[in-house]
Structure 1
């Protein structure tokens, strides 16, 4: 996984007012933690961070005070209405160190004919991987799967150096049978009217 270099500046002001001033300057408040060290409060350029976060579990080289530190995003807080990044938690990592992350699952292929539905029980698979070799995603083929089929966590091929961080029998994807269409309401009403007419008709003597 390629590293993305992002400059950072120490953050000395705190509180909602200070955070708003930081964001008005197109910066994002962030905290760096890990390895038992005291958390570091910094600010990072909003646009560069936004571009970096397009890659899941992106490896960031944080440039701060003439030195660099490898981090990965662990929690991203966004404005619920406008969607801009309000705050980000960054986990400090080292080369060769293993971390637990959730890797997105991408499907390819077409289900067997029949109008069945594909359900993603898990949108991401928890795995343990080297911090510098985190997979961007797992591609799973659903080609030809029929109703009742399921793909379990253990069915997904992991790259060397990665291992599952969840129950191997956890259902990741399953195929649901298409539901039978209900009869139109008009047909039901017509049938009811025919029954009523038949009941009112005089019996032949």
Structure 2
């Protein structure tokens, strides 16, 4: 995964008023923590950070007062009403070679078996442990030909080298549900038979 470089400024003002002033200046309040160091409160460029966060588990090379540090987003607060507006970001310090716990998105490919069945994503993201500088953006699972009742467990999902599951092997990630129309027809049929 490529690194995104962002320049940050250390901030000394805190609270809602200071945060509002930062946002009006198109800056984003954030905090950097980890490795036992004291948290550092910073201001980031809003647009650059927003674009960087479009990539899941992005690795950010943060320049704070000329010192370069690698961080990954740990918590992102977004505006509840206005889309595309960030409120605050928590960033976790990481080092090359260090393992981190993250969630990676599960994408599917292929078509279910004919019959109008539905695919349920029990987990949209899979908890894994990966090297901080080699976090996969996502994993892809084939659902081709799966029929009602089929399940895909965490252990069935192929992971990139150096990435391990951070959840029990038998956790259901995806399952195929029977089409509702068929269930409704079966229920109606049972009701008709009871009336007769």
**Which position in structure 2 is the counterpart of 1:116?**
117
Q: Following superposition of structure 1 onto structure 2, how do residues 162-173 of structure 1 map, counting pairs within 5 Å?
A: 162-173=163-174
**Which position in structure 2 is the counterpart of 1:6?**
6
Shift in Å, 1:63:
0.6
SS in structure 2 of the partner of residue 8 of structure 1: strand
Q: Following superposition of structure 1 onto structure 2, how do residues 42-53 of structure 1 map, counting pairs within 5 Å?
A: 42-53=42-53
SS in structure 1 of the partner of residue 134 of structure 2: coil
Gaps of 5+ in 1: 184-205
Q: Distance in 1 between matches of 2:110 and 2:11?
A: 48
**Which position in structure 2 is the counterpart of 1:145?**
146
Q: Following superposition of structure 1 onto structure 2, how do residues 4-153 of structure 1 map, counting pairs within 5 Å?
A: 4-83=4-83, 84-153=85-154
Q: Distance in 2 between matches of 1:54 and 1:144?
A: 32
Measured against aligned partners, the alpha-carbon deviations of 1:66-116 in whole angstroms (never above 9, x if no partner) come to 111000000000110003100000000000000000001111111000000
Shift in Å, 1:159:
1.2
Shift in Å, 1:182:
4.6
Q: Distance in 2 between matches of 1:7 and 1:47?
A: 12
RMSD: 1.2
Give every structure 1 segment of 4 or more consecutive aligned residues whose post-TM-superposition deviation is greater than 3 Å: none
Gaps of 5+ in 2: 186-196
Residue-pair matches, total: 184
Q: Distance in 2 between matches of 1:142 and 1:13?
A: 51
SS in structure 2 of the partner of residue 110 of structure 1: coil
TM-score (norm 1): 0.88
Measured against aligned partners, the alpha-carbon deviations of 1:138-197 in whole angstroms (never above 9, x if no partner) come to 0111111000001000001111111100011000000001122757xxxxxxxxxxxxxx
TM-score (norm 2): 0.92
Q: Distance in 2 between matches of 1:128 and 1:89?
A: 19
Q: Distance in 2 between matches of 1:33 and 1:67?
A: 15
